[in-house]
Structure 1
Amino acid sequence: MTQLPASLQTWFDSRGWQIHPHQQAMLDRASDACLMLVAPTGGGKTLAGFLPTLAELADAPRTGLHTLYISPLKALATDIRRNLLIPIEEAGLPIRVEDRTGDTPSSRKRRQRADPPQILLTTPESLALLTSYEDAPRMFEGLQRVIVDEIHALAESKRGDQLMLALARLQTMCPNLRRVGLSATVEDPPAVARLLARHPDPCKILMADPGPEPDISMLQTDEAPPWSGGGAAYAIPAVLEQVRQHRTTLIFHNTRAQAEIFFHNLWLANEDALPIGIHHGSLDRAQREKVEAAMVRGDLRAIVCTGSLDLGIDWGDVDLVIQIGAPKNVKRLVQRIGRANHRYNAPSKALLVPANRFEVVECVAALQAVQERELDGEPRGPGPRDVLCQHILIAACAGPFDADALFEEMTSAGAYAGLAREDFDACLNFCATGGYALRAYDRWQRLLQRPDGLWQLRDPRSAARIRMNIGTIQDTDTLKVRWRGRGGQTLGEIEEGFAASLTKGDTFLIGGQIVRYEGLREMVVEVTRDAAKKPKIATFMGTKFATSTQLSQRILRMFDAGDWSALPGHTAQWLTLQQEVSQLPQPGRLLIESFPHDGREQLVVYGFAGRNAMQTLGLLLTKRMEEEGLAPMGFVASDYAVLIWGLDAVINPAPLFDLDRLEDGLEGWLQGNAVMKRTFRASATIAGLIERNTAGARKSGRQATMSSDILYDTLVKYDPGHLLLDITREEAMRGLVDFARIREMCDRIGDRIDLVRLKRVSPLSAPLFLEPGRVPINGSADERLLEEEVTRLLDESGLARLGETSAKVAASG
């Protein structure tokens, strides 16, 4: 067993601490080339990750970079630095720790490259930027360890792909580099370990004691949840009572707009004037930091928040977490639960608050999954090629490179292990010329091949532009919101599209305050205070989560079992009535209900494929219905079903679900749809075809959209086989339209389709009639309705009989 250096052991003893078993195991296996630790929140996993570094530097002090720590959040890096300095300073260790993020001053960044600290805390984007400099080999010379914290959060996104390519670059510079991954919530440890490891080398997995079961339940309220909606306003009194009973409560929401609404309603009901704050990514950084500092001091009784507080930052004495709305994802719920009682072997306490009747079922399913320690997650495909293109440009910024060596390096990154050489060459050709349709333009002639076979930048000055656009995060275009007047304080940001919809005098919520729109000045939204009680709501950007596949399947199994004992009475009665009137959806089968309502034929398809996929299914089914002459008029989708209304009843639904026909319909729909242009814009920005940042300024959303739309239309017309169009299609299928889940649904049900014809609306379908976001269909139904209306008007005016008489006269000659 590896012993701690005396200075560190003395520090542990001074605090009355004993090293945890998984921390000791990390010390014992410090020489492993790749090691991933899965330990519960509050279990000291970050210290476990750093202990080998502290021990090595305590035993053998040295200068230069020893350990690189990578975090998905800038705030987490700052928090880790603060916590890491405690043992370093109190144990008297000669170790310098610094962070490097987008907020770090330029002067410090330059010094860090010349004189790096022993421990550097950074983010994937900053690391990618560091590897782009010619002096990167000198800066990283002697690097021993890389620690990737919250690796589950990075493994699910392009930021993780970018990070693993950067690690492959570091491994080339430092062949003996050791990799460490840390997480509390990994649904498939071997899969994440393969992503972390240098392919084909293995990565060992260390599973810590998971600790006690969390104390998690559904909040009991006097009022039953509504049939539809996402605000959970009915639960405000019960939530306030919980806030009164606890020291600090985090109240999580799935979207920023919902957080704003709930905070506003909570504040109006806060008769005791309890100190309550709000925290989300659209608020001004100064306001976020003010709330964070108040949390650490224990000044706030509650914080209404979003995913901005999901990850492993220790925010003070939080003893309760409340999740408003169904969590949609068990792994995310476990992460949020862990914010409460952030201590080893102390059970976390959490309450779930369903926003509507169906979410009661989803919350119960999520509770059961947490109790059974069954996490969820969607399998990721091969590494995206737009990120690969960006990495080629980053490599070129660092100096001339050999294509064979770069290909070998890239395929050592787990997500790119299966990369075909022809795909790599296509990306290299794109980076060099822009592709067939663009090769005549100098701005996209970025690389050239030298006589010795090495590739380099055609113009060294382009390195600065490439570095300014490094990253995979695609922010929604926003405008700053500021109090009117010279030197007015910035409140945060709102979406450009939302700002464009405002007229002077309109009110909206931001930071929990109602503000009045006064005008747009120099691309800044100017506002004043307003005492209105019913504001417009800013449509903040951010992910609208879809229910995971695993959670959806668990709900279907609950329906199939027919055991409602875990459900509140009102929800159990609702499902029982559904069984009596119709039937409940079942695993491996597809339930479709058909009934008349409001003068139209209604069709409800219970696909349980998540919101994005059900939205896409609605588009494709209505297209198929048009082809079958069924005259659909519109649809609306939720996470679990799609409701379609039209003029004709569907008698045989099976032909509508022909997977080949659905995919053909998707192809045709995508070609002329804004989804493709949006996706193209994101991928083209990542791949370096479109520059958002220039030396002068950042392009506005409108400017970037215009330039990307022109490029897209040009490529579709003159170069339909262009690499970026192929990437765009892949990304659209995988992301916005989520066709993979439709394919999975069709494979799961086969020909097992249950069509139930009803006389009226069923209990399970009723909430769909209240669902927002209805999509009209302009097709044959419009023509039929127009013909019927003309006939009706003719009948009412007597012109129809006059028309018949004229026809008879004409016929008699």
Structure 2
Amino acid sequence: MADLPDILTNWFATRGWAPHPHQLEMFARADDPATLLIAPTGGGKTMAGFLPTLADLATRDHAGLHTLYISPLKALAADIGRNLRRPVEDMGLPIRIEDRTGDTSATQRRRQRADPPHILLTTPESLALLVSYEDAPRIFAGLKRVVIDEIHALAESKRGDQLFLALSRLQSLCPGLARVGLSATVDDPAAIARLLARHPDPCTIVHADPGPAPDVAMLNTDALPPWAGGGAAHAIPAVLDQIRQHKTTLIFHNTRAQAEIFFHNLWLANDDGLPIGIHHGSLDRTQRQRVEAAMVRGELRAIVCTGSLDLGIDWGDVDLVIQIGAPKNVKRLVQRIGRANHRYNAPSKALLVPANRFEVVECIAALQAVAAGDLDGEPRGPGPRDVLCQHILIRACAGPFDADDLFAEVASTGAYATLSRAQFDDCLEFCATGGYALAAYDRWQRLVQRPDGLWQLRDPRTAQRIRMNIGTIQDTDTLKVRLRRNRGGKPLGEIEEGFAATLTPGDTFLIGGQIVRYEGLREMTVEVTRRADKKPRIATFMGTKFATSTQLSERMLDMFARDDWPEMPRHTADWLHLQRQVSHLPRRGRLLVESFPHDGRAHTCVYGFAGRNAMQTLGLLLTKRMEDTGLHPLGFVATDYATLIWGLDPVTDPAPLFDLAALRDGLDSWLAGNAVMKRTFRASATIAGLIERNMPGQRKSGRQATFSSDILYDTLLKYDPDHLLMQITREESRRGLVDFARIEDMCARVQGRIDHLRLDRVTPLAAPLLLEVGKVPVSGAAEERLLAEETARLFAESGLDSLAPAT
């Protein structure tokens, strides 16, 4: 391609800038079918992605849509819009740039379809909606480029699968379409490139100069971290001191509940009255926007936040990032670190605050991984079929289609490149009839095949309902929270429906950093009043619950293999040395199992380092295996690193408990009658279009949707257990909350090499687990035996032992 047009060159020059080498390379490769740019935060990724667009629109006329920008966050699309309009206005270019997200008015959305702007900034859900319209060929006529920002975040979720399927449709409408992906944190560039490119087209990967290494350390605190827990309350004084020393500090948390707790404690200790805000996805949009605006104006000294501010939003003069709690994932940590000093060739500054002793070790492992540039990531399997079913319905909304052509489009999508025609036909049949057990019901008869072989909607009116339910983000069944007023007061945000169900009038909880009092439920809205005289309950936001990555766990195990740890705080190093003296430290390639008595119960601690979800599942499966072999377990508790089980009988040989085939059988039988399967079925059935949450004029509550999905699940389980949705549910349930794949990986790495130590007391590494919350009781023979023994004791004490029941 030719040199940059003079108007762009002059724009750079008037600001004393010069294009970065990677920006010029992206410009030179503008005609490549797919290009992935990996550049550090602040490295001008957005300008690199848009340079060919600006150059083309500055030098020739173009009617209609030229470039589509896709972001995982509505706020990020709005931020990019602000930043992109500056050079366009400076150069006086007649380029229309508009947003199209869930916040865009219906009037503006209709106008955009009739008269598309040159550059449209949107999200995967809005793009899926656009390609569902009959006039999609006209809307996208002339489209030349698609720019996908923060592509790593989309590549890890079903939103990304939905996006790449929509791109396969766009590619058919616009054969010369160029695809561009932008990211600062890619652990496997080749894998992302395969997703980005149209299969089997090649994808060019451009690596920018990574810039200076970030300045990352662990925050020193006067108070020692506790043995267990995740609140990091011990660090509040040190965090406040850091806020005073910096202009703007982002304080990241892994969950919304933790963010609320920390903000509350931080505010109580904020004697200087420093302006501090809170930002997370469950807060009311108005409140989030108010915080964002205050950040832009530089009015806040600190913002307590979650993943809602993870991605590349350039707000305010942030010069410090603090991560509260172990980061769990190096890639996410690097992304968060990049929010500080959001400039090229300026090192980002960040501090890690471990919430407990185990997290001290994990934080050090994360610091070493960041220094080594070693990003982590979990390999994803083939494209999920529930998303494919939704895509087939979306394609039907746009008009009649040929199944062969649609299969070819789908197979050109990287995640679906290995999809067989039989699997595709199963999805098509499901979309047409609902499947064998549901074919008799008229409501699921949605597609018909015409005499000419094309498929179309059986009833065109179905298109409205399909469009209303487009998307892969599953609601967590939340209820709006409002201050009580005669006609509805100020909205504060949302809380989980399950949490709301536990509230009684007078209960207090935290939301948006405020303590509020629950007054009642009115028309599916939680009504509250302000209350500041009680210690609150905490709203249980689902948010995102991260599990420690496999790579971080392995780094921790490698650290345990060393003789000493000079980089570690003395209190933590002494703790590990003591563990080595009285027991062993866990080792890579082996499984450490400790058995010891405590408080009159036999305890067994398994150090699997497989992540919280997997260790929780392992606790369920091991206690079931113990129950089957007569060991009478009473309960367990799990962390990212270990599972502690207690019961009436000691484990003498743990090896039989870890038989993988038996664990797999136990998982299947446990799932069959468990709420996890029904919850997973509900999510997949909603994505696939079997269950509609949104209908014209109404919306189902979480309980209504659960009730209807439970009936469907029970029906299919009984009459059609191999139904497509049941197959998808089994696949999905082994991932996600259950994470059985990590248990399989753990067993494969260990290969039966188990170090079983029978000890006479609690060990240093096991002691924190005794303090963990979230203990899970086990109901079974142990309860019956305890009840019988207690009954016999009471009868004996009463002198009535001759009347006691036999035990």
Give the Cα–Cα distance (whole angstroms) in 2 for the partners of residues 532 and 756 of structure 1.
50
Given residue 424 of structure 1, which amino acid in structure 2 is its aligned partner?
Answer: F
Quick check: 1:7–1:92 contact (8 Å CA) kept in 2? no
In the other structure, the counterpart of 2:142 is 142
Quick check: 2:791–2:804 contact (8 Å CA) kept in 1? no
In the other structure, the counterpart of 2:257 is 257
In the other structure, the counterpart of 1:118 is 118
The equivalences for 1:225-264 within 5 A come to 225-264=225-264
Quick check: 2:560–2:586 contact (8 Å CA) kept in 1? yes
Task: Compute the displacement of 1:500 (Å).
Answer: 1.1
Give the Cα–Cα distance (whole angstroms) in 2 for the partners of residues 633 and 541 of structure 1.
28
Could you say if the C-alpha distance between residues 802 and 475 of structure 1 is closer, same or farther in structure 2, counting changes exceeding 3 Å? closer
Task: Compute the displacement of 1:801 (Å).
Answer: 5.6
The reply to whether residue 37 of structure 1 matches residue 42 of structure 2 is: no
The equivalences for 1:257-406 within 5 A come to 257-406=257-406
Number of aligned pairs?
805
Report the 3-state secondary structure (helix = DSSP H, G, I; strand = E; otherwise coil) of the residue aligned with 1:323: strand
**Residue-by-residue CA offset, 1:208-253 (whole Å, 9 max, x unaligned):** 1111000000000001100011110000000000000000000000
Given residue 226 of structure 2, which amino acid in structure 1 is its aligned partner?
Answer: P
Give the Cα–Cα distance (whole angstroms) in 1 for the partners of residues 161 and 9 of structure 2.
38
Task: Compute the displacement of 1:626 (Å).
Answer: 1.1
Given residue 14 of structure 1, which amino acid in structure 2 is its aligned partner?
Answer: T
Could you say if the C-alpha distance between residues 648 and 17 of structure 1 is closer, same or farther in structure 2, counting changes exceeding 3 Å? same
Give the Cα–Cα distance (whole angstroms) in 1 for the partners of residues 795 and 300 of structure 2.
69
Report the 3-state secondary structure (helix = DSSP H, G, I; strand = E; otherwise coil) of the residue aligned with 1:734: coil
Give the Cα–Cα distance (whole angstroms) in 2 for the partners of residues 758 and 360 of structure 1.
26
Quick check: 1:2–1:24 contact (8 Å CA) kept in 2? no
In the other structure, the counterpart of 1:463 is 463
Task: Compute the displacement of 1:117 (Å).
Answer: 0.8
In the other structure, the counterpart of 1:209 is 209
**Residue-by-residue CA offset, 1:707-746 (whole Å, 9 max, x unaligned):** 0001101111111111000000100001110000000000
In the other structure, the counterpart of 2:79 is 79
Give the Cα–Cα distance (whole angstroms) in 2 for the partners of residues 798 and 301 of structure 1.
71
In the other structure, the counterpart of 2:23 is 23
Could you say if the C-alpha distance between residues 664 and 487 of structure 1 is closer, same or farther in structure 2, counting changes exceeding 3 Å? closer
In the other structure, the counterpart of 2:547 is 546
Give the Cα–Cα distance (whole angstroms) in 1 for the partners of residues 39 and 73 of structure 2.
19
In the other structure, the counterpart of 1:696 is 697
The reply to whether residue 576 of structure 1 matches residue 577 of structure 2 is: yes
Identity of aligned residues (%): 77
Give the Cα–Cα distance (whole angstroms) in 1 for the partners of residues 609 and 569 of structure 2.
22
Given residue 559 of structure 1, which amino acid in structure 2 is its aligned partner?
Answer: F
**Residue-by-residue CA offset, 1:500-547 (whole Å, 9 max, x unaligned):** 111111111111011111111111111111122410000012111000
Given residue 621 of structure 2, which amino acid in structure 1 is its aligned partner?
Answer: L
Give the Cα–Cα distance (whole angstroms) in 2 for the partners of residues 406 and 561 of structure 1.
56
In the other structure, the counterpart of 1:70 is 70
The reply to whether residue 739 of structure 1 matches residue 740 of structure 2 is: yes
Report the 3-state secondary structure (helix = DSSP H, G, I; strand = E; otherwise coil) of the residue aligned with 2:254: coil
Quick check: 2:34–2:202 contact (8 Å CA) kept in 1? yes
Given residue 530 of structure 1, which amino acid in structure 2 is its aligned partner?
Answer: R
The equivalences for 1:578-727 within 5 A come to 578-727=579-728
**Residue-by-residue CA offset, 1:379-420 (whole Å, 9 max, x unaligned):** 000000000000000010000111111011100000000001
Task: Compute the displacement of 1:183 (Å).
Answer: 0.1
Give the Cα–Cα distance (whole angstroms) in 1 for the partners of residues 537 and 802 of structure 2.
52
Task: Compute the displacement of 1:61 (Å).
Answer: 2.4
Quick check: 2:218–2:352 contact (8 Å CA) kept in 1? yes
Task: Compute the displacement of 1:562 (Å).
Answer: 3.0
- Larger mean CA deviation between 56-65 and 704-713 belongs to 56-65
Give the Cα–Cα distance (whole angstroms) in 1 for the partners of residues 217 and 322 of structure 2.
10
Quick check: 1:592–1:753 contact (8 Å CA) kept in 2? yes
Give the Cα–Cα distance (whole angstroms) in 1 for the partners of residues 736 and 352 of structure 2.
28
- Larger mean CA deviation between 74-83 and 562-571 belongs to 562-571
Report the 3-state secondary structure (helix = DSSP H, G, I; strand = E; otherwise coil) of the residue aligned with 2:98: strand
Give the Cα–Cα distance (whole angstroms) in 2 for the partners of residues 698 and 395 of structure 1.
24
Given residue 708 of structure 1, which amino acid in structure 2 is its aligned partner?
Answer: S
Given residue 783 of structure 1, which amino acid in structure 2 is its aligned partner?
Answer: E
In the other structure, the counterpart of 2:760 is 759
In the other structure, the counterpart of 1:481 is 481
In the other structure, the counterpart of 2:496 is 495
The reply to whether residue 800 of structure 1 matches residue 806 of structure 2 is: no
In the other structure, the counterpart of 1:169 is 169
Report the 3-state secondary structure (helix = DSSP H, G, I; strand = E; otherwise coil) of the residue aligned with 1:492: strand
The reply to whether residue 94 of structure 1 matches residue 94 of structure 2 is: yes
Report the 3-state secondary structure (helix = DSSP H, G, I; strand = E; otherwise coil) of the residue aligned with 2:694: coil
Given residue 619 of structure 1, which amino acid in structure 2 is its aligned partner?
Answer: L
Give the Cα–Cα distance (whole angstroms) in 1 for the partners of residues 745 and 102 of structure 2.
40
Task: Compute the displacement of 1:803 (Å).
Answer: 8.2
The reply to whether residue 451 of structure 1 matches residue 481 of structure 2 is: no
Q: Which runs of 5+ in 2 are unaligned?
A: none
Report the 3-state secondary structure (helix = DSSP H, G, I; strand = E; otherwise coil) of the residue aligned with 1:415: helix
Give the Cα–Cα distance (whole angstroms) in 2 for the partners of residues 395 and 31 of structure 1.
28
In the other structure, the counterpart of 1:59 is 59
Report the 3-state secondary structure (helix = DSSP H, G, I; strand = E; otherwise coil) of the residue aligned with 1:592: strand
In the other structure, the counterpart of 1:810 is none
Quick check: 2:795–2:804 contact (8 Å CA) kept in 1? no
**Residue-by-residue CA offset, 1:440-463 (whole Å, 9 max, x unaligned):** 111000000111111000000000
In the other structure, the counterpart of 2:429 is 429
Quick check: 2:250–2:320 contact (8 Å CA) kept in 1? yes
Give the Cα–Cα distance (whole angstroms) in 1 for the partners of residues 563 and 787 of structure 2.
47
Report the 3-state secondary structure (helix = DSSP H, G, I; strand = E; otherwise coil) of the residue aligned with 1:409: helix
Give the Cα–Cα distance (whole angstroms) in 1 for the partners of residues 386 and 321 of structure 2.
38
Q: Which runs of 5+ in 1 are unaligned?
A: 807-813
In the other structure, the counterpart of 1:811 is none
Quick check: 1:68–1:146 contact (8 Å CA) kept in 2? yes
Task: Compute the displacement of 1:470 (Å).
Answer: 0.3
Task: Compute the displacement of 1:81 (Å).
Answer: 0.6
Give the Cα–Cα distance (whole angstroms) in 2 for the partners of residues 70 and 604 of structure 1.
47
The equivalences for 1:147-226 within 5 A come to 147-226=147-226
Given residue 192 of structure 2, which amino acid in structure 1 is its aligned partner?
Answer: V
- Larger mean CA deviation between 773-782 and 748-757 belongs to 773-782
Quick check: 2:508–2:534 contact (8 Å CA) kept in 1? no
TM-score by length of 1: 0.98
Given residue 577 of structure 1, which amino acid in structure 2 is its aligned partner?
Answer: L
Give the Cα–Cα distance (whole angstroms) in 2 for the partners of residues 772 and 689 of structure 1.
38
**Residue-by-residue CA offset, 1:466-497 (whole Å, 9 max, x unaligned):** 00000000010111111111341101111111
Quick check: 1:70–1:146 contact (8 Å CA) kept in 2? yes
In the other structure, the counterpart of 1:514 is 515
Report the 3-state secondary structure (helix = DSSP H, G, I; strand = E; otherwise coil) of the residue aligned with 1:40: coil
Give the Cα–Cα distance (whole angstroms) in 2 for the partners of residues 647 and 728 of structure 1.
36
Given residue 785 of structure 1, which amino acid in structure 2 is its aligned partner?
Answer: L
Give the Cα–Cα distance (whole angstroms) in 2 for the partners of residues 330 and 671 of structure 1.
35
Report the 3-state secondary structure (helix = DSSP H, G, I; strand = E; otherwise coil) of the residue aligned with 1:303: strand
- Larger mean CA deviation between 642-651 and 55-64 belongs to 55-64
The reply to whether residue 133 of structure 1 matches residue 136 of structure 2 is: no
TM-score by length of 2: 0.99
Task: Compute the displacement of 1:337 (Å).
Answer: 0.2
Give the Cα–Cα distance (whole angstroms) in 2 for the partners of residues 264 and 331 of structure 1.
28
Could you say if the C-alpha distance between residues 94 and 604 of structure 1 is closer, same or farther in structure 2, counting changes exceeding 3 Å? same
Given residue 697 of structure 1, which amino acid in structure 2 is its aligned partner?
Answer: Q
Could you say if the C-alpha distance between residues 167 and 803 of structure 1 is closer, same or farther in structure 2, counting changes exceeding 3 Å? closer
- Larger mean CA deviation between 429-438 and 782-791 belongs to 782-791
Task: Compute the displacement of 1:45 (Å).
Answer: 0.5
Task: Compute the displacement of 1:790 (Å).
Answer: 2.7
Report the 3-state secondary structure (helix = DSSP H, G, I; strand = E; otherwise coil) of the residue aligned with 2:623: helix
Given residue 751 of structure 1, which amino acid in structure 2 is its aligned partner?
Answer: G
